[in-house]
Structure 1
Amino acid sequence: MVFVTKDIQKRDVSRLFTPTSIGKLQLKNRTVMAPLGLVGYADARGGFNKNIQELYIRRAKGGMGMITVGLVAVDYQDFFDLSLPCPIYDPIDFTKTSKEMLEQIHNYGTKAICMISAGMGRSAFPGVSKQMWAPSPQENRFDPKVMHRAMTVAEIQKTIEDYAKGAKICKDAGFDGVEIHAVHEGYLLDQFTMSFFNHRDDNYGGSLENRLRFPIEIVKAIKAACGADFPVTLRYSLKSFIRHLREGGLPGEHFAEQGRDVAEGLEVAKLFEAAGYDMLNVDAGTYDAWFWNHPPMYFEKKGIYNEFGAKVKSAVSIPVAVAGRMDDPEAINAAFDQDIDLVEFGRPLLADPDLVNKIKADAWEDVRPCISCHDGCLDRLAKGMPYSCTVNPETGHEAEYKLTAPLAKKNILVIGGGPAGLESAYICGTRGHQVTLLEAQDKLGGAILPGSVPSFKKDDYQLLVWFERQLAHMSNVTIQLNHAATKRDFNDPKFDTIIVATGATPIMPDFGSDQMLKAEDVLMGKAKVGEKVTIIGGGLVGCETALWLQRQGKQTTVVEMSDDICGGPAHTPFANYQMISELLPYNGVDVQTSTKVERVTGTQVVASDAQGNTKTIAGDAVICAIGYKPKDPFLQLLQTTDKETYLIGDAKRTGKIMTAIWDAYYIAKDI
């Protein structure tokens, strides 16, 4: 078979591996693991549980220069008890578990700072905040019926004191510094700094100096408790990108900034440097423009914060760090070309803990790619679960899941070359089993193939490239394309174990027309459409297909029976949901929700709205994208065979890439 080559040129990123410093803290290279919320990673006394310890140790082994541990809670005034680690809850336990982790991190020559958070303020998900406070009385970001009260001065001052106490405990536990969370993303401290949210008339509101008082008093209190040389860094969003309350400004869009604009942001950066902050970890966005802080795949450009980091670097003399999908040599070099000091990796390190060592070895083609789906990381956090990774189920389970050689090597047949089949073959092959993978089509990938056609889904394609490369290097894995598995293959006595990963097939209801097209056929170029296209179904496939067609100059209408697209924010990671919800109308897609298709006549769709009014939507083509159903031609054999068999992925229940990969991993790791 022919394996495609990853479309990334080898580049010299040697500047990434030169030493640098933050104040007097010396770093072996310029790589930083970006902070991530530690929901579900606290032990029974507010320390670090074994899973998160091992996650960070594994990334240190992978070559990191510095790891930002956390975020952790400054106290449990607003955070629920033990929802996150917390240094002041039980300092003895926090110190003990920190030392267990830091000893091993430091053994790899990696430094570690701890990010301490004051909380979310009006950006709190409903039900996760005890105090429901903000700088001023505010509506909740997600539910305007929920109101937040203003923090009292006494509560502000206690938070500052707790920051100093917590930082001192972190220092005594062996941390090399702390990072303050955050004048970024519209969290509590960020809300205090913006006049859009801060309407106080005391010393913590009004003028810019007063609005910055809270985070400035924090750094001064920490320096007083820990010494002037103890590094204190700040997570900092230069620009807010708030178009309106709960609405973000899109890349390239011209709008009136309601939050912090660049001019004020640069002034703020200078004041933070003067106050004593030792580094600024720069990005952009707020919870009102959440896709900026957690960029989905719809940001096609990598290194999206470079421009903001460069502006801040021109205004301050302290180090500046940037994240923003920096797993790309051009993005890394662009950062250094603009005098940015440090490069941060967040989600890419969840996908591949050896990212930095692979970059150093110029082995970009072996980096397992982050696909910016948010399903395994951000969406789990939002639901109160520990973060992990769609493409790497071991993330967050390093202490529990370790691939081991089987007691007896088996001959395994994998039927289907989609994500579930590929992960099965990869894990079984890694463990030493003999694997034969049969794929009916002339290419591997299954549903990834049509799904990765739009340019904003190119990382899905790179995941396929990665699988192909890894499997090509395994002599114990055989792949046969253009081979539709049969009953004879299933019953072949040479196979001890059968994994059925045959995927799903599109649902095509009888709307009265035989001219309806499948979204996957249009994406793959098997079916052509005219200039005016109607898409039935406003799920992820329908919406992404509409955006792809609209950007080709088509006039696209999406018809969705429910009152929201993509299943709403409860079904789709919020940053992704918000961005595509804004991108569709911004690009001119006509989205008609609460609209039920009654029938299709040729290429005309007859539908009724929520009031029962009938309308006809004319067009040159109708694409059906209402969902999928499992495709399992081996169901009867699975039920009657004496062999060890498994049904996984979409063939068992339809889902996303994460469902398929996790299904496969959990089965394959124990065969």
Structure 2
Amino acid sequence: MVCSATIKNQSEVSNMEYPHLFTPGRIGPVTVKNRLVMTAMCVGLAHHDGAVSDALAAYYEERAAGGVGLMITECTRVNETDAVAYPSMLSMSHDRYIEPLRKAAERVHAHGAKLFMQLYHPGRQNVVLFPTIWRFNERMARIFPSYWDWYFKMAGRFDASMIDDPKTAKRMEKYMKPLLAPSDVPCGLGDNPVRHQKTVPMTIPQIKTLIGQFIAAAGRVKKAGADGVELHAAHGYLLQQFLSPYTNRREDDYGGSLENRMRLLKEIIEGVKAECGPDFPISVRLSVEEFYDTIGYPGQGILLEEGVEMAKRLERFGVDALNISSGNYDTAQTSCEPISFPPGWRKYLAKAVKEQVRIPVIAANLIRTPEQAEAQLNEGTQDFIAMGRSYLSDPEWAKKAMEGRSGEINRCICCLRCMESFQENIMNGKPVECAVNPRACRESKFPRTAPKDGWQRPVVVVGAGPAGLTAANELAARDFKVTVLEQGGAPGGQLILAAAPPLKEKMDWFIQYLTHQALQQGVDIRYNTRAAKEVIESFRPYAVFLATGAEAAAPRIPGSDSDTVTTVTPILTGERTYAGKEVAVIGSGMTGLETAELLMGQGNTVTIIEMADQIAPGAYPINASDVIGRLEKGGVRFLPGRRLERIGDGMLYLRRKDGVLEEIRADATVLAIGVRSNSALEKECTGHFERLYSIGDAVTPGRIGNATRSAFMRARGLQ
């Protein structure tokens, strides 16, 4: 079929390596300079009252300057009552939000990019606390100008996991209004982060009011000078809840048949068209498959066949583009994938829609390289390439591809630190974090170009892991003369171990990026070099950065010195292997789970023992359940609530919470109970160098993002 996003003569294209990717396309009356779309991502940078802040405008502008053709803002609420989902969330519910959006649009337009605003309502995918507390906060902020500072200080004590506690949910029900939804079907399946929240079916007057709120919000977006709107009918939010037969069990004009389930969206589209006119495009983000079969509910929700029919009807309703996606909070892995999912895994969804409609199809298909993007355009999978996390990790993704520098792209590794940090920071006013880009969402605080004030003064960095190389690259960008001393024969540090388990090869991408940047900037990396005080002194360094990492912890448990006991490190490096053995893994953090999967794949019978009452305590649920699902299919046994007391004679002795002592057989035992900082070199060097800094795991063992952020901050702040 002919699409309105017509490809022009290739002679007009600036980059012949990716001729389709950098060809202009049209969405309704709007011409987009290339086929690259930045999808909506909530980053927590909006002003407390819902306006576009300078920090958020800077975030958008940097990505517009980086070459994106079309940018879609994060989800934006349409009212100040039941649509409030978290603090620092965009709003377009009042005219006061027009001017801040206008300023942001001007900054985006200055770089030749277009800007759509995504309008939404969370429906059941919310917490009853948030809409209620928002109304209180708004009133208090009007009375006390410093109220927000106090609020975020207090809210920092809030643990987001509390909302998953049924007792807490019951207490909130007593004082808070229930969430509006099509039907009384609260969240409660899979890894849904907002389970146990009370819902209530919307009345017809409430539905009519909501339609008016969407229409009014779209009108304000147009007045602000933005180029279009996107209606968020994906990922399980309210508009999708009306579309889905799983969440919509109404028996009136807004439920039952597909025609009725689409009525709300249809009336919003008609109203926006009437309010904004035909020259203001509407995109709909649509989950065409909810994947309930992946969590044990086959045949439930929106299936692809019906999703395609929805797309066809939306075209008839007059929308100008379809942004195809999948999943909801119940099936969250299928809308924001963890690291194990292969690039392009769901492109068949977009292709199924593209074959049936004439309007442009936008789709995010876990695209990570320009080559993959160009291939999917050539295949006819879609008309526009949508990415979200890729622009978080590298704002210049588009520019680098256009200039033939794809090897310099800092690819998203799908670790989901962005999602995890959003939930961690949701109540304390802090923005999202990216594991591989420590500047992400801090663009207004840290300019992209570092000051050239190093004047070739020598700096020694010990360790070529993520912290060491991040610091080295930042220091080199500042014109310091950087030497990295690495005791091993290759870069990567803990990332080498992180990339070893099955389906973790994306971790290698970050190692490749850091090494490429270091070599390009002239960093001198010396492998197989053990750093000691005397070695470091020979460089007469202006500053020394110690990124000596961490090592696996080995507890003092009777029998732990046996030859049959090891930490995870020899397993992940391949130094020690087992096959056909009964292996016990002690500890069910992500390292323990992933090591168990590696052992399972080598033909061992694996048991995971965890002292806590649940498996994977402290791990991000989507990442944990991704691995646990494969372990369960492979027959791995889980024993939570047990403390290892003794190892001996091919047996493990475990103490249960009720005091009972259990015995299980184990030919080998692998300890995955955390790591401890390597601080020996710091002790040796303290007092001998004026500027001595430990960074990364050498300070506090943690995730990749903790290491890169501490390294960046220290390197950027060196005086």
TM-score by length of 1: 0.91
**Structure 1 residue 617 displacement after superposition:** 2.9
Q: Which moved more, 1:540-549 or 1:123-132?
A: 123-132
Task: Find the residue that maps to 2:212 and give its secondary structure.
Answer: helix
1:35 CA displacement: 0.7
After superposing the two structures, state which structure 1 stretch, 580-589 or 481-490, moved more.
Answer: 580-589
Sequence identity percentage: 30
Deviations 1:74-112 (A, max 9, x none): 1212206863121223x24x2222222222322222111
Please state how far the C-alpha of 1:637 moved relative to its aligned partner: 4.1
Say if 1:81 and 1:599 are closer, same or farther in 2 by CA, change over 3 A: closer
Distance 1:307 1:332, change over 3 A: farther
- 1:178 and 2:229 correspond: yes
Query: In the alignment, what sits opposite 2:483?
Result: 436
Structure 2 residue 78 is the aligned partner of structure 1 residue 74: yes
Q: Secondary structure at the match of 2:21?
A: helix
Q: Verify: 1:26 aligned to 2:31, yes or no.
A: yes
Give the Å deviation of 1:411.
1.9
Q: 1:322-361 maps to which residues of 2 (within 5 A)?
A: 322-328=363-369, 329-330=371-372, 332-361=374-403
Range with bigger deviation, 340-349 or 127-136: 127-136
Q: Residue 167 of structure 1 corresponds to which residue in structure 2?
A: 218
Matched residues in 2 for 1:127 and 1:228: separation?
A: 39
Residue 130 (structure 2) aligns with:
128
Change in Cα spacing, 1:66 to 1:144, as seen in structure 2 (3 Å) is: closer
Count of equivalent residues? 644
- Equivalent positions of 1:12-161 (< 5 A) are 12-39=17-44, 41-43=45-47, 45-78=49-82, 79=84, 83-89=88-94, 91-92=95-96, 94-119=97-122, 121-125=123-127, 127-130=129-132, 131=177, 132-141=179-188, 142=193, 144-161=195-212
The correspondence for 1:633, drawn from 670, 680, 695, is 680
Does 1:525 pair with 2:574?
Answer: yes
In 1, the alpha carbon distance for the partners of 2:696 and 2:599 equals 28
Residue aligning to 1:199: 249
Q: CA deviation at 1:555?
A: 2.5
Instruction: Tell me if structure 1 keeps the 8 A contact 2:422–2:432.
Output: yes
- What letter is aligned with 1:326? I
Paired letter, 1:64:
V
For the 8 Å contact 2:20–2:378, the answer to whether it is kept is: yes
- Displacement of 1:607: 2.0
Query: Which residue number in structure 1 is paired with residue 138 of structure 2?
Result: none
**Structure 2 partner of 1:234:** 284
| Stretch of structure 1 that moved more, 41-50 or 558-567 | 41-50
Give the direction of change, closer, same or farther, for the CA distance of 1:242–1:77 in structure 2 (3 Å limit): same
Are the equivalent residues in 2 in contact too, given 1:303–1:331 (CA < 8 A)?
no
State the AA in 1 paired with 2:669.
V
Counterpart residue identity of residue 199, structure 2? H
Following superposition of structure 1 onto structure 2, how do residues 227-376 of structure 1 map, counting pairs within 5 Å? 227-243=277-293, 248=295, 256-299=298-341, 301-328=342-369, 329-330=371-372, 332-376=374-418
Kept after mapping to 2: 8 A contact 1:46/1:84: yes
Which of the numbers 534, 558, 563 marks the counterpart of 1:488?
534
CA contact (8 A) 1:290 1:578 kept: no
Q: Which amino acid aligns with 2:62?
A: R
Consecutive unaligned residues of structure 1, counting only runs of 5 or more, are 1-9, 250-254
What amino acid sits opposite 1:527 in the alignment? Answer: R
Looking at structure 1, the residues matched to 20 and 251 of structure 2 have their Cα atoms a distance apart, in angstroms, of 48
| CA shift digits 1:315-372 (9 cap, x unpaired) | 2221111113211323541354034111111101111111112222332221112111
**3-state SS in 1 of match to 2:216:** helix
Q: Would the aligned equivalents of 2:543 and 2:690 in 1 still touch at CA under 8 Å? A: yes
1:446-494 Cα deviation digits (max 9, x unpaired): 111111123422121111111111111223x221111111121344471
How far apart are the structure 2 equivalents of 1:129 and 1:574? 25
Q: Take 1:460 and 1:144, find their aligned partners in 2: how far apart are those partners?
A: 31
The one-letter code matched in structure 2 to 1:480 is: R
User: Equivalences for 1:647-658 in 2 at 5 Å?
Assistant: 647-658=694-705
Contact 2:40/2:75 (8 A) holds in 1: yes
The equivalent residue for 2:159 is none
- 1:38 and 1:85 in contact (8 A); partners too: no
Q: What is the deviation of 1:381?
A: 4.5
Partner of 2:73: helix, strand, or coil? strand
Which one is further off, 326-335 or 496-505? 326-335
The offset of 1:62, in angstroms, is 1.1
Query: In 2, Cα distance between the equivalents of 1:585 and 1:13?
Result: 42
The 2-side partners of 1:291 and 1:650 are apart by: 29
What TM-score, normalized by structure 2, do the two folds share? 0.85
Write the letter of the residue equivalent to 1:307. Answer: Y
- Cα distance in 2 for partners of 1:611, 1:347 equals 45
- 2:272 equivalent among 222, 240, 256: 222
Q: Which moved more, 1:49-58 or 1:379-388?
A: 379-388
> One-letter code of the match for 1:139?
P
**Distance in 1 (alpha carbons) for counterparts of 2:373 and 2:614:** 35
Letter in 2 for 1:396: C
Query: Is 1:388 aligned to 2:437, yes or no?
Result: no
SS of residue in 2 equivalent to 1:343: strand
AA matched with 1:364: S
> Following the alignment from structure 2 to structure 1, what is the Cα–Cα distance between the partners of residues 267 and 650?
65
1:139 and 1:45 map into 2 onto residues whose CA distance is: 28
State the secondary structure of the residue aligned to 1:218.
Answer: helix
Contact 1:17 1:29 in 2 (8 A): yes
The C-alpha deviation readout for 1:601-655, integer Å capped at 9, x for no partner, is: 2553232334444333324322111110111113434543451111111111110
Distance in structure 2 (CA, Å) of the matches to 1:44 and 1:122: 23
The DSSP-based 3-state class of the residue aligned with 1:159 is helix
Give the aligned partner of residue 5 of structure 1: none
RMSD over aligned CA atoms reads 2.2
Does the 8 Å CA contact 1:628/1:654 hold for their aligned counterparts? yes
Aligned to 2:407, the other structure's residue is in SS state helix
